[in-house]
A and B are shown apart, each in its own frame.
Chain A
């Protein structure tokens, strides 16, 4: 007796179709799973056996072979439990074949037969839609199916409910709710006007930003408010990002509601933790921050390998990992916002406390970041602790909503002009419509400050963004001057 059930295994953010074939024949009772499954797949045998029995069904007292095709593809995870159980039950004619026809099943089984959720259901929903299959799984497939839209699905919470042919629901075309939960507001920050402006410019142009300041100056507080002034995720962006979150087993609810992800990995994070890795491969923080903000607090405290691993994602917007099981690519287009102390003790330039670091210690501290990474950061700003008195006296400041409106307008303006942020140096000035006077200012400034060609590009880019915020076609000298203020000078 023979049966086939469709399912899928995750590779990167994709679910690759896998056929679960069951063959139940007479012979010495045994149960084996072939087809390059990992330990979790092998352990499915125990869960499936117990779950079938606990549901009052019969586990065949025969020779049971499960093959996961295509056999050369490595498979991992517990999502195979449900399709394996289904295949056995169909092969032993305990449930009708119609239940599994044109269906992709996914789900982990408890020993009592209930179906548990697994990571990556959004990817499964995509695969099902692409292959024109209905999706069968635990209740967590519901939001996934409605996000993808147009997918037929059936929720099973227990394998007993599979005894009958159930009804499939067609998810309505994706209509995504908007985010009602509040994000930290810029209006909560007293003073720090320069920093707020820097955040606005960074948000409008998608510039990476480095905040330098002593402990307690509000770097983290400011960084957390960047998401609030970015425009909400577009429909496509939501799905892209939610897919990564889903695959990583993190709730994708907030992302689907349009909230940009804000990831702040601790500085002890490994390379794998940052860019992804492990077996099976999991997306790292850079991918979880896709279309959102990656905040690296205490930048120089990160390991050198971890910091250098950020270069590829910052450049390409993707991370490609090569592992035994093959190549995996995760999306990783994020805004980097980094924070650091000016020196090891943290108090260089503080208004109250003396810095106790030697000059050598200071420059060693900064040099840990490394030039190549700094090259990919467009803007820098010094942030300082503000007087308690000022906190009390600070009047009403602009709320995130108002700043977000300007940011959105600037982004739209840039888009209308087909601005590419990767304009090569030679065409930079014409592409960005930089006025001759402004251009001379950039040139003479870079000459007197001995700045590199890359610095010229950064200045021009930031100046262009500032002009975009003002919705002006050409970049004037004033815009350049403001860009100069955000020039990077740690190094």
Chain B
């Protein structure tokens, strides 16, 4: 049984302009100790999916249906139905969180040490002294230089990379089974991003924590995740192991995203391959396959009328496309990738 099993999650925002289904039937499973990458562009619903797990979706957002099963004592609990006090124990306890902007997620008026101590004491019956020792241990674990000194500093005294290390230390302080990391390196420079990604990978190896990594950066996913789910317009459109997905993408959207980046050697292969049009806002998701208006392979009227289901296209590989089988090894695809060897 997976550690976390999301089944058919629907999270919608009820606005004056009507119901906006930001997450529309998402199913995901995360195994113990594994890293799952959830990728997609702005507005695809990846962050709302993550926020739904801990029921942190802000009003007017509502989880309308679906189950979020967290493994417990051989069975499981449904986080969507758990009473608030019980859920509060899980937030920051069995499930830790890391957000994109560490400056806004850390409280500016408390020291780093106080914040970690508070997090630990919320979830564990320990004294302040013991919690402080734990905090020190965590800061050393995330390889913050001079942890004793840092413990009494305020967030603004640290650099962006150091703040993100503190966030990771806090997320890990209560020995969580799962860490949800929402764009944890997006606000950081690449050399600092490399430090943080290496740290996360190392901690996962040592502590066996599962990670749900939410990002728009396919490169980050390729280098850190075991499995990948690609989201588009509120739905998962493709799912596979990272190795399989990047070697044999089967959904036209994934194919398009991979092809849109310049290949090695730069400029001489002509214009970049583009995905025409723009990401649709949730108020205006197209009918049928939601990607069809931008799809180079769409066949009309079929793709505009019938919504494809997420189905197996190869062992351990699912895609939400009527014609995924025909896209598999065609020459067209090689050309679409646009990356000469």
A in complex with B: no
